[in-house]
Amino acid sequence: MGLQEFWFILIAVLFVGYFVLEGFDFGVGMLFPVLGRTDTRRRVMLNTIGPVWDGNEVWLITGGGALFAAFPEWYATLFSGFYIPLLLILVALILRVCAIEWRGKIDDDRWRARADWGIMIGSWVPAVLWGVAFANIVRGVAIDENKQVTSGFFALLNPYALLGGLTTALVFALHGAVFLALKTADEVRADAVKLAARLSVPTVVVAGAFVLWTQLAYGKGWTWILVAVAAAALLGVVGLTAVEREGWAFVLTSVAVIATVVLLFGSLYPNVMPSTIDDAYSLTIYNASSSPYTLKVMTWAAAIMTPVVLIYQGWTYWVFRQRISTKQIPPSIGLPLKTR
């Protein structure tokens, strides 16, 4: 295995980590209107991700940095051709960060309501658009001989990509519901378990259709294994949520996310962005990569720093592993809202 293959696999691993960890963060925010019927319940939901959500976003930052350094041609073509959806994702993530950080700064119901809208929008938009973006990457876009995407934004809204967006939204919502059932107690846990059970069936149908479409249109022989793993995991979630085994259900939603992301990257390889104009214009791990020396230096840096990051993040999850209940939430305390 050469350095190009190694970095392609590493970028896939980084996005796997991002979608597994940030996926339940998105799910928690997406479910605010359903499970967060009172301010206390919403604070419980936020506290389940409070110690970890910003650490989970590091996976995206690292993945983007690795993409830029290892495959600059891929990075340039992707961010120019997918400018609008990626910009919308970025704006939504910034909105979500501000809403989470500032929600409790002012003691006013209207302020918190606006922050809650920011959290919901900042969760729903990336949850949908990440699926749209990755589906288009696998499907291919109109890339010309100059490595420029010639199609517009609305060309990205094709049936396969829209199904991908619906899939990631449902999977993240289910992932978040199962996570809340795992991390909360009393009535929040009870409602999260019921919601996860209701979400599991439509998620299996939609995600199953997307995974099967991906395999039949773009997959390879060995990726059938990933289709089977994703399908078995989601079917297992249906049964486990019905009997309120949220721990194992969370494991299986994570397995389903992992199998789906690996299926997308496996279907893509050795391309990184296929061209629908001419296969000769497609970007591959070879014609889009940095120099061998750059990849070598990056490999040493990754070998040193990656274990440190993984150990620290694992320690964070261990420290904040306890369940949270509404009884543990103190009254809201913040600065009074200034009025004229």
Determine the pLDDT at residue 107. Answer: 86
pLDDT digits (tens, 9 = 90+) for 63-117: 999 999 999 999 999 999 999 999 999 999 999 999 999 998 888 889 999 999 9
Which CATH entry fits the domain spanning 3-321: 1.10.1160, 3.40.50, 1.20.1630, 1.10.3470?
1.20.1630
Amino acid identity, residue 214?
Answer: T
Residues in CB range of 333: below 8 A, 6 or more apart: 104, 107
% of the chain residues with pLDDT over 70: 97
Integer Cα distance of 122 and 102 in angstroms? 14
Contact (Cβ atoms closer than 8 angstroms) between residue 63 and residue 15: yes
pLDDT digits (tens, 9 = 90+) for 126-182: 999 999 999 999 999 999 999 999 988 899 999 999 999 999 999 999 999 999 999
Determine the pLDDT at residue 335. Answer: 61
Determine the pLDDT at residue 290. Answer: 94
Each domain of the chain, given as residue ranges in start order, spans: 3-321
State the burial class of residue 320 (Cβ atoms within 10 Å of its Cβ: 0-12, 13-18, 19+).
middle
Determine the pLDDT at residue 340. Answer: 40
Contact (Cβ atoms closer than 8 angstroms) between residue 95 and residue 122: yes
Integer Cα distance of 178 and 193 in angstroms? 7
* Whether the predicted pLDDT of 298 surpasses 80: yes
Give the number of other CB atoms < 10 A from CB of residue 219. 20
Which residues share a beta bridge with 324? 184
* Whether the predicted pLDDT of 331 surpasses 80: no
Give the number of other CB atoms < 10 A from CB of residue 214. 27
% of the chain residues with pLDDT over 90: 83
Amino acid identity, residue 159?
Answer: P
What value does the mean pLDDT of the chain take? 93
Contact (Cβ atoms closer than 8 angstroms) between residue 227 and residue 276: no
What Cα–Cα distance (Å) separates residue 140 from each residue in 53, 213, 222, 263?
A: 32, 14, 21, 15
Q: For the chain, how many residues are written?
A: 340
Contact (Cβ atoms closer than 8 angstroms) between residue 82 and residue 156: yes
Name the H helices within the chain: 3-30, 32-35, 39-49, 53-56, 58-70, 72-81, 83-102, 109-139, 159-183, 186-218, 224-242, 246-268, 292-319
Please report which confidence band the pLDDT of residue 332 belongs to, taking 50, 70 and 90 as the band edges.
Answer: low
pLDDT digits (tens, 9 = 90+) for 218-275: 999 999 999 999 999 999 999 999 998 999 999 999 999 999 999 999 999 999 999 9
Please report which confidence band the pLDDT of residue 337 belongs to, taking 50, 70 and 90 as the band edges.
Answer: low
Q: What is the mean pLDDT of residues 2-21?
A: 95
Integer Cα distance of 230 and 204 in angstroms? 9
* Whether the predicted pLDDT of 199 surpasses 70: yes
* Sign of the CA dihedral running 37, 119, 98, 183: positive
Determine the pLDDT at residue 21. Answer: 95
Report CA Rg, the chain: 21
Integer Cα distance of 172 and 23 in angstroms? 5
